[in-house]
Every structure is written in C-alpha cells, then in structure tokens.
Amino acid sequence: MFRRIKTALLLAALIAIGACGFQLQGAFQAPAGMDRTYIASDDRHSPFFREFEKGLRAAGVELVDSAVDATAIFTIFFDVTSQRVLSVSARNVPTEYEVYYTITYSLDAGTTSLMPRQTLTLTRDYTYDSTLVLGKAREEELLRGAIVDDLVRIVMKQISTQ
C-alpha cells in the first residue's frame, strides 16, 4: 500500500515537472556563425579574456588569430576590475570592501550583429580585518576568480540563446 502511494506521488511529481516546462540547461551551443571566432581585445592577458577563451575552446569553438579568417568577432571593449571601500570603522579604518569586474562586449558575424554592445558588472563584498591581511588578500583573489567565472558563464549563456 505504502509503495503504491510513493510510486503515485513520484509519478505525479514527474508529470508536474514535465508540464511546467522545466528543462535542463544543457551544454553551450554556439550560433551557426561562430564556427571560427576571433576575440578582439586590447588586453589578451586579462582574467576574463583567458577564461572566456578556455570556455569557447571547451565548447568546441575554433578560435582564430586574425579577424580576416573569422566568421564571427567577439569584441571586448572594456575589461576592468577593482575594489572600493563600502564601510569604515569609527577610527576611519576600512572594514568592508566591494570587489567588482566590468566588461563591455559585442558579438558580430560578418555584417550581422548577433549581440549588440552591452556592459555587464558583477560585484562581491567582503569584510576586512587588518590583523588578517594575508587571508583577506587571498579572499579577494578568490572573489575575483568567482566573479570572472560567473561573467564567463553569463556571457556564454547569452551567446547560446542567440
């Protein structure tokens, strides 16, 4: 009896999930025009550039060294990361920082714009303690890496929906 109820509930849950339109995201699917892509950037050593390049390669997109050979051009106009003070103590000592990363980019395939120029900024904040300088420096570094990973994931998701 209990087994039948459990099976019926499981079946009802599966039907409900299927009926609501839920679908697993799946792997990155590059648009048809991105077979051979060139990444145009002034800073080819930035964390975003390196991770984005890895992401495209892992997805099977062929990256070329020249815009002439490319079927699509992903342009990074602006790529900057920094931090700013969010709060200070009564003695005017910073107690909280915000780390941010901003990119401005577009994607063109020949004369067609697959993604118009857009800007994306992600931020994370962390508390600061002057007695834990090395640990907080490492925390900031890890936060920057997490932001870059999120930016790459968001941009690749935007590309795959084109």
φ, ψ dihedrals at 89, nearest 5°: -80, 180
At 92 the pLDDT is: 84
In SS3 terms, 102-151 reads as EEEEEEEECCEEEEEEEEEEEEEEEECCHHHHHHHHHHHHHHHHHHHHHH
Sign of torsion over alpha carbons 57, 63, 141, 96: negative
At 26 the pLDDT is: 57
- Higher-pLDDT residue of 24, 41: 41
> Which among 65, 68, 62 has a CA at the least distance from the CA of 36?
62
Average pLDDT (113-130) is 89
Angle, vertex CA 153, rays to CA 69 and CA 108, nearest 5: 30
pTM: 0.77
